Every structure is written in structure tokens, then in C-alpha cells.
Amino acid sequence: MSVAQAYDIVVIGSGAGGGTLAQELAPLVRDGVRILVLEKGPRFADHEFTGRELEMAEALYEDGGAFLTHDGTMTLAFASAYGGST
């Protein structure tokens, strides 16, 4: 994508909120409205989704999907993934 491209609406994030908003705005495209949905992280091709949970968590979840508490005694699940954090 070129920096010079112009859009009428930019949706930041494709999680529950951004994805729903993008879906609701989609009919405007028929009227010529240019909509861009931005998401963090790389773009993946269909064949790159292996279906193996641990492998995909490392690729799709921020920090591999888990983190330690400050004192290091507990691992917590971290729901900030590419595609939302809901």
C-alpha cells in the first residue's frame, strides 16, 4: 500500500469493535466510499494457518499469548491477538 492512497474512512483494528464497524460500513463501498481496515502484525496467507494451537499462538498472539506476573509465580493468558483482544 502506498502512503499516497486516500481513504474516506479508516478503521483501526479488526477485533469485535473494529470488525463489526467495518461490516456495518461495507455497504458504503457501493457508493464509492473508500474504507481501509488497519491491523497490527504481518499478513498471513491461508496456507500459513496450520491448525496447531501452540504454533499459531506464537505467530498470532502478542508475546506468544501468555505472560508471567511481576514476581514470576504465575503465567497468565494474554488475549491481545491480531484481530482483536476481546
Domain range enclosing 1:
1-42
The pLDDT, as a whole number, for residue 67 is 78
Is 72 within the bounds of a domain?
yes
pLDDT digits (tens, 9 = 90+) for 13-42: 888 899 999 999 999 999 999 999 998 777
Is 85 within the bounds of a domain?
no
Count of the separate structural domains present in the chain: 2
| 55 and 35 together in one domain | no
What values do phi and psi take at 83, rounded to 5? 110, 5
Assess contact for 61 and 67: CB atoms under 8 A.
no
| 37 and 57 together in one domain | no
The pLDDT, as a whole number, for residue 10 is 96
Is 86 within the bounds of a domain?
no
Q: Helix and strand tally (H, E) in the chain?
A: 2, 4
Is 22 within the bounds of a domain?
yes
pLDDT digits (tens, 9 = 90+) for 34-86: 999 998 777 788 898 898 888 887 777 777 777 788 898 988 776 666 566 66
> Does the pTM of the predicted model rise above 0.75?
no
CA distance linking residue 26 with residue 20, whole number of Å: 10
Which of these, 47, 42, 72, lies nearest to 59 by C-alpha position?
Answer: 42
